[in-house]
């Protein structure tokens, strides 16, 4: 049974989210502030974290940043703020997805399922993809660039593997969203841009002049190697 840590200081939201997740078959852990969330994450090792941005003690941005230094656990951020900058900051810190309040509990459960399915639900293929200076070990879930290991979030890893498996093919943002998250909603496809930006920071010698993850103007992205 997968364990989901729900972090929100609103007891009503926690109660609803917990009820829907438990009904869907998940074990639910709960924290109402950032410091408690970090304690539970370190002690109980959840399979996914649903994380509110506006928290007492330690806000969601700081929790996300701290988690990313220690773990590649998938993170879905909850935000009551609608500014695109808030969503982009969360993704740049390493979150895998975001949901804007008010949200549908059913949609949140669908996103949790989709992310966990791609991260752990299906056995990975025993495959190594090597393109030039970049090697992706799909079964070992590891990446090396110029012989050095690189830590990627689950979304970044799936993006890179998807692009490298079909090197030279141009993917639209919606196609990449479907590949890495298991669903695609128009309006969310621009989140791929942030994940690509983060990926380039980690694998490109010069992220501002990428040689591998290329932008295909008017379409999306492709891999060259």
What digits encode the pLDDT tens for the residues 8-19? 999 999 999 999
Q: How far apart are CA 66 and CA 180, in angstroms?
A: 24
What stretch of H or E contains 111? helix 105-116
Q: What's residue 186's pLDDT?
A: 56
Q: What's residue 68's pLDDT?
A: 92
Residue 125 is given by DSSP the state P
Q: How far apart are CA 123 and CA 132, in angstroms?
A: 26
User: In this structure, is the dihedral angle defined by the CA atoms of residues 79, 34, 88 and 164, taken in order, positive or negative?
Assistant: negative
Q: What's residue 126's pLDDT?
A: 47
Q: What's residue 215's pLDDT?
A: 96
Q: What's residue 116's pLDDT?
A: 87
Tokens of 88: 């982009």
93 with 65: CB under 8 angstroms? yes
Residue 199 φ then ψ, to 5°? -60, -45
163 with 224: CB under 8 angstroms? no
Domains within the chain, CATH numbers bracketed: 3-121 (3.40.50.2300), 128-223 (1.10.10.10)
pTM confidence score: 0.61
Q: What's residue 182's pLDDT?
A: 63
Tokens of 103: 């949200």
DSSP E strand stretches across 48-177: 48-52, 75-79, 97-100, 128-131, 134-137, 142-145, 148-150, 171-172
Can you list the residues of the chain whose pLDDT is less than 70?
81-87, 121-126, 181-188
Q: What's residue 67's pLDDT?
A: 95
């Amino acid at each position: 049974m997968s364990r989901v840590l729900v972090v929100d200081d609103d007891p009503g939201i926690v109660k609803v989210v917990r009820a829907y997740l438990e009904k869907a078959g998940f074990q639910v852990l709960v924290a109402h502030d950032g410091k408690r969330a970090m304690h539970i994450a370190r002690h109980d090792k959840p399979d996914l974290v649903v994380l509110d941005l506006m928290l007492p003690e330690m806000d969601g941005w700081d929790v996300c940043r701290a988690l990313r230094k220690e773990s590649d656990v998938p993170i879905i951020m909850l935000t009551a703020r609608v500014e695109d900058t808030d969503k982009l900051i969360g993704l740049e810190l390493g979150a895998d997805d975001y949901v804007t309040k008010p949200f549908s509990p059913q949609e949140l459960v669908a996103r949790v399922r989709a992310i966990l399915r791609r991260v752990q639900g299906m056995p990975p293929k025993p495959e190594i993809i090597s393109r030039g200076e970049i090697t992706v070990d799909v079964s070992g879930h590891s990446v090396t660039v110029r012989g050095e290991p690189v830590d990627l979030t689950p979304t970044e890893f799936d993006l890179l593997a998807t692009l490298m498996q079909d090197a030279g093919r141009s993917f639209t943002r919606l196609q990449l969203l479907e590949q890495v998250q298991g669903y695609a909603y128009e309006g969310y496809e621009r989140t791929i841009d942030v994940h690509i930006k983060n990926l380039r920071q980690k694998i490109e010698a010069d992220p501002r002049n990428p040689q591998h993850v290329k932008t295909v103007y008017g379409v999306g992205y492709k891999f060259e190697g």
